[in-house]
Structure 1
Amino acid sequence: GKKGWKRPLLFVQFAGVAFICGLMYVVMAQYNYVKDKDMGYNPQRVAIGSIYFGGEEESGPALQFFRGLPYVEEVSSAVSTPVWSYSGSMIEGEGGQSLFSTRFSYALEDYFKMMGMTMKEGRPARASDEIVVNEAFAERMRWGDKALNHPLRAEGRNLKVVGVLKNFHIGSFYQPQDVIMFGYTRTFGNTVHVRLKEPFAENLRRLNKDVSEAYPDKTVDFYSMEDQILNKYNPVRVFSNATILAALTMFFVMLMGLIGYTTDEVRRRSKEIAIRKVNGAESLGILELLSKDVLYVAAPAVIIGIISAAYINGMWMEQFAEQVPLSWPVYILIALVILLLIVACVIWKSWRIANENPVNSIKSE
């Protein structure tokens, strides 16, 4: 009948459940947010692989080979891919001073269309002295709406901007939006991007087999672009699964403790409840009495757990440049759901004694 150890233990269990549930929700929400967020290009059914064909004499027939494969929908190439990031290049000012470092790549003219990147204005580069920049680059240079035909000094050469791409994300959403420019190449190869028809997995195996047979002197493996993106968030996925498992474990531990506590209280106070009913107490009042007894412990514990979860979530989310939009109502809703489950458990275990004939409890005296 002593409550000195029971209530502190329940307090810890309630706070633990609230904390882990608050953590679990945010981790799951953030994982799904970065996994499904539009990156500014279309990685669906795209296979990427690094393969070098040399000059136009070899790269031209290689491009025709890929285009001739019956399961290939589109194909193009660039020096690298937004999933793997790009090399850097220093932008020079009019006086030759270094301004900032930008990501830099070369691509075929049809690369942007094939990748689903959107040209905000202008066109792809078609000559060695032409470049395409993204919106972040134009903003960094403070060009406003006058980026087209703007001269630029980079790579030791004088270049001209002929197109502006809408921003697409490089790498993953751990990193902020980066600046990038694309030069022109007519040579197919380096990082080959192939959009395959369905079924994707089967056609990806066929692609690797056909390429290895066609070019036995080259070592190349094509990978799913979507899988490469998801692999970057694998630690978040593992953490999300761990929080789900921890939340389920903590929830069942809390239920066992709560059921045990409520059962003891009902048994200990059965005579008191019977006397209250004899004196006119309603079943609803008895349930309210027992629920309040638990809520005095549960409410502050859940509040502390939720506040702790929000604090830890804030620190954990700092690793992401893009964060799922959250607000306090979400945490309040989680707290209310936990408290409702606690009350429902108490009512479930107390229902029989609250509705029992009080004579059955009193006659045993």
Structure 2
Amino acid sequence: MQTLNYSFRYLLKRRGNTLARVLSLSLGVAVALLVFSYVGLNFSFNKFFPNKERVFQVWEQSPKIGGMAHKLVKPLAPNLVADIPQVEAAVHFIEVQKIFGTTDNLMEATALQTNSTLFDVLDFGVISGDPHRILSSEGKASGEIMISERLAKKMFGDEDPLGKKLGLDVVAGVFETPRVNQSIGDFDILEHLPYDEDNEIWTGQDSYTTFIKLCEKADIAEVEAAMPEFIRKHGIEEHCKEWQITYCFVPLTSTMFVANDVKQMQMIYSAIALVALIVACLNYVLLTISSLAERSRTIATMKCNGASRGTVFCMLLAETLLILLVSVAIAALLIATLHGEIFDLFGYKVSDLFALERIWIPLLVCVVAFAVAGIVPAVIFSAVSIDYAFRRGGDNRAWWKKSLLFLQVTMAVAVVIFLLVSNRQVSYIMNSDYGYKFDRLMALELSTEIKNAGVIADKLRSLPFVENAGMSSSSPLSGYSGMPCVDEEGNLLFSCRWDIVDENYIPSMQMRIVQGRNFLPTDGADKVIVNETYVEMRGWKDSPIGKIIYDSSMVPFEIVGVVADYRMMSRGVALPILLHTVPYLSDLAPEYRVVVLYNILMKDIDKENVKALDEAIASVYDGYYKYKIIPYSEWIDITFAPVKRMRNGMVVVASIVLLIAFIGLSGYLQGEMARRRKEIAVRKVCGASTSEVLVVLGARLLWIVLPAVVCGVAIAVWLNEEWLSTLAQMRCSVPVWIYIAGVLAVMAFVYAVQLLLSWRAANENPVEMIKRNN
């Protein structure tokens, strides 16, 4: 208690030093708590499911489709259960968007279309209702759905939601709101997914996520061994051989990390958090050691009065504990205050990041911070000898302080360069050539009868503020469906992406035709347009216009045009693309419903035009589907949100690291000025000018800064390569000037602080300085 009392009184006495230590430790601990909790949450995915060790996700692996794919064919799940005795249950589902409500108050919710065995395989909690019936064909016939507890509360408050109408559906059950740390998705509605076992399609429509649950004591190796016979039985042996397809079964708790970049991103985030925590702790150590010369006599006096080395050690630990407790409290207050900004940065609520089942993560961060920040000063101070103290502690443990400053500068250089690269990458993504222009583009998705699709498009084009409006079945941002590209003999060449568009699609998207022509209203179903990558992968050196190509059913199509490559989906990869025209759907009845994406090129996007657009659509649409109009720019922002989060997170971390480094550098230089006052005075007495004194001080600092810069650049190179490797083809180049700029920025910052703090000492009266040092 006496040592704790002494520590408390000393902290109050040296308020400036105490405040600096509290501030730096608070910031570092806050960053570490947030980032390590975020990483811990990601590593906890799917671990709460019952019988998780018996559940596996089915993946399809093929070099011809670009690696691993989790969107599989619909017949796979039910037939795995029927044919392989080790499989107890299987489920498949597809995610769709449902919009309901009035025109003035539209609401959108994500729904899973699935089968009745969902909770047998992935039991995330049923509150009311019978999912086996609701998610069956019987429930579908009655228009029944299940909704989440979250949506029930939002729509119906404290009322019982069962039997209530939600759009055209009836609520028949409620399930627990899906947790954030599961890979099924974030959804609020469950409804039956129709399946016709007499009309199974095994070589197309691969859009369904599939999970299986093994029988007790069954081994997944038995299922894998049964797959060759399963493939032969369903007549897809040749298809799998041609496409080099193999089915993989990934444990439920590992499926989050099938994509290689997920673990890489967690490593990068962990490295960033570790940097912030280490810099903060080392800064604390640096500021604590800077007071050694002042406190050494006090410690020596305590030892003369019987204090042991252990007593001094405990006193310094108690001091660190007091500061850490205050720092953690400030960090917690900061996190609670900035909960909205934290959600924008990480995509999770603060309550999710610090859930009770993972509370050990922030506790571990605090223990590590206490160990690093407390033990080093405690060892140094407890080792102070009486004779060292009374000869004024001349060396002041300078090598310790220089080492700590070296590490701080190293971390600062690495973080600043990584910040510059991440900012350049985000700018590159947002401003690069997509192959189409989206600044005046609006997206409208409708489920409509084929006969009415063109009527709606004509209405849109007739509006005075609409420049053009083209129809498609998909968007480059959401991705196109896949199909095989074959030669004249039907041999598989590669996989391409395809879409159905009208003659106004390419002009509306402001794409470029580089060879041939666009579609004409008079074109039949046998006309197609391909992109440059398709032509390149076919190996054609002459013009492709007029060439005949075939689909997997050997139906011929004539190429009438080549469109310039445009980027697909969030990674920006240019894929081979095949565009069909609307008559491709001529075999379907006019009353058949299809989902159409209207790509509307506006003359000017403002609230009045968007409102008028909405009214025009309502005047010609049957209201079957509750729609929403969204600007493409907003869609792109959503698509690239993870990359932006990384950039924004780096801005925050870099700012905090630099602030901590400023505090540490200030403490170091103040200690150096106090230690070298006599030397500076002697130099000035001997005729040295202020500038010469400053040059000498700067040169000594350079011996620390230059090696630190080299190490910081090496760390930055590693971090940049790890991150950019996750961005496939849509990655920017990193010129040398980025590294030079980062190095110069940190060095300018270091020397600006050095100049600020040494200017006064360099200009002070040398006689007065010598008097104060004696």
TM > 0.5? yes
Give the match for residue 407 of structure 2: 12
Preserved contact between residue 196 and residue 204 of structure 1 (Cα < 8 Å) = no
Preserved contact between residue 13 and residue 254 of structure 1 (Cα < 8 Å) = yes
Q: How many Å separate the matches in 1 of 2:462 and 2:423?
A: 42
TM-fit CA distance, 1:181: 1.0
Tell me if 1:355 matches 2:763.
yes
- Deviations 1:26-50, CA, capped at 9 Å, x for gaps: 1111011101111011112211122
- The residue type equivalent to 1:63 in the other structure is A
State percent identity of aligned pairs: 27
TM-fit CA distance, 1:344: 2.0
Pair 1:155–1:53, CA change in 2 (3 A): farther
Aligned match for 1:135, one of 532, 536, 550: 532
Aligned match for 1:200, one of 590, 595, 606: 606
Tell me if 1:89 matches 2:89.
no
Tell me if 1:73 matches 2:470.
no
Runs of 4 or more above 4 Å deviation: 186-189
In the TM superposition, what are the counterparts of 1:1-365 in structure 2 within 5 Å?
1-56=396-451, 58-125=452-519, 126-156=523-553, 157-172=555-570, 174-185=571-582, 190-212=596-618, 214-215=620-621, 216-320=623-727, 321-364=729-772, 365=774
Mean alpha-carbon deviation: is it higher for 15-24 or for 65-74?
65-74
Q: How many Å separate the matches in 2 of 1:6 and 1:262?
A: 10
Q: How many Å separate the matches in 2 of 1:247 and 1:357?
A: 39
Q: How many Å separate the matches in 1 of 2:607 and 2:424?
A: 28
- Deviations 1:1-52, CA, capped at 9 Å, x for gaps: 3324322221221111111101111111101110111101111221112223
Preserved contact between residue 121 and residue 163 of structure 1 (Cα < 8 Å) = yes
Preserved contact between residue 122 and residue 164 of structure 1 (Cα < 8 Å) = yes
TM-fit CA distance, 1:213: 5.6
Q: How many Å separate the matches in 2 of 1:60 and 1:160?
A: 24
TM-fit CA distance, 1:150: 0.8
Q: How many Å separate the matches in 2 of 1:201 and 1:257?
A: 51
Q: How many Å separate the matches in 1 of 2:758 and 2:705?
A: 17
**SS of 1:218's equivalent?**
coil
Pair 1:259–1:104, CA change in 2 (3 A): same
TM-fit CA distance, 1:175: 4.5
Pair 1:109–1:29, CA change in 2 (3 A): same
Preserved contact between residue 134 and residue 180 of structure 1 (Cα < 8 Å) = yes
Mean alpha-carbon deviation: is it higher for 181-190 or for 162-171?
181-190
Q: How many Å separate the matches in 2 of 1:63 and 1:302?
A: 60
Preserved contact between residue 11 and residue 297 of structure 1 (Cα < 8 Å) = yes
**SS of 1:52's equivalent?**
strand
TM-fit CA distance, 1:154: 1.2
Give the match for residue 122 of structure 2: none
- Deviations 1:233-291, CA, capped at 9 Å, x for gaps: 11111111111111111111111111111112112211111111111222222112211
Between the two proteins, the alignment pairs up a number of residues equal to 363
Q: How many Å separate the matches in 1 of 2:736 and 2:457?
A: 54
Which consecutive residues of structure 1, in runs of 5 or more, have no partner in the other structure?
Answer: none
TM-fit CA distance, 1:194: 1.1
Preserved contact between residue 46 and residue 225 of structure 1 (Cα < 8 Å) = yes
- Deviations 1:91-133, CA, capped at 9 Å, x for gaps: 2212221211111112111211121110001112322111110
Preserved contact between residue 412 and residue 657 of structure 2 (Cα < 8 Å) = yes
Q: How many Å separate the matches in 2 of 1:101 and 1:308?
A: 39
Preserved contact between residue 482 and residue 498 of structure 2 (Cα < 8 Å) = yes
TM-fit CA distance, 1:209: 5.0
User: Pairwise CA RMSD of aligned residues?
Assistant: 2.0
Q: How many Å separate the matches in 2 of 1:153 and 1:61?
A: 31
- The residue type equivalent to 1:158 in the other structure is P
**SS of 1:5's equivalent?**
helix
TM-fit CA distance, 1:161: 0.9
Pair 1:264–1:90, CA change in 2 (3 A): same
Preserved contact between residue 212 and residue 219 of structure 1 (Cα < 8 Å) = no
TM-fit CA distance, 1:201: 4.7
Q: How many Å separate the matches in 1 of 2:676 and 2:453?
A: 86
Q: How many Å separate the matches in 1 of 2:606 and 2:440?
A: 6
TM-fit CA distance, 1:218: 2.6
**TM-score, reference length from structure 2:** 0.45
- The residue type equivalent to 1:342 in the other structure is V
**SS of 2:435's equivalent?**
coil
Q: How many Å separate the matches in 2 of 1:202 and 1:12?
A: 57
Q: How many Å separate the matches in 2 of 1:97 and 1:242?
A: 49
Which consecutive residues of structure 2, in runs of 5 or more, have no partner in the other structure?
Answer: 1-395, 586-593
Q: How many Å separate the matches in 2 of 1:278 and 1:60?
A: 92
**SS of 1:326's equivalent?**
coil
TM-fit CA distance, 1:153: 0.9
Q: How many Å separate the matches in 2 of 1:181 and 1:19?
A: 45
- The residue type equivalent to 2:564 in the other structure is K
**SS of 1:83's equivalent?**
coil
Preserved contact between residue 693 and residue 762 of structure 2 (Cα < 8 Å) = yes
Question: Which structure's relative contact order is higher, taking Cα pairs within 8 Å and 6+ residues apart?
Answer: 1
Mean alpha-carbon deviation: is it higher for 208-217 or for 93-102?
208-217
Q: How many Å separate the matches in 2 of 1:204 and 1:170?
A: 27
Q: How many Å separate the matches in 1 of 2:615 and 2:413?
A: 52
- The residue type equivalent to 1:18 in the other structure is V
Q: How many Å separate the matches in 2 of 1:116 and 1:37?
A: 15
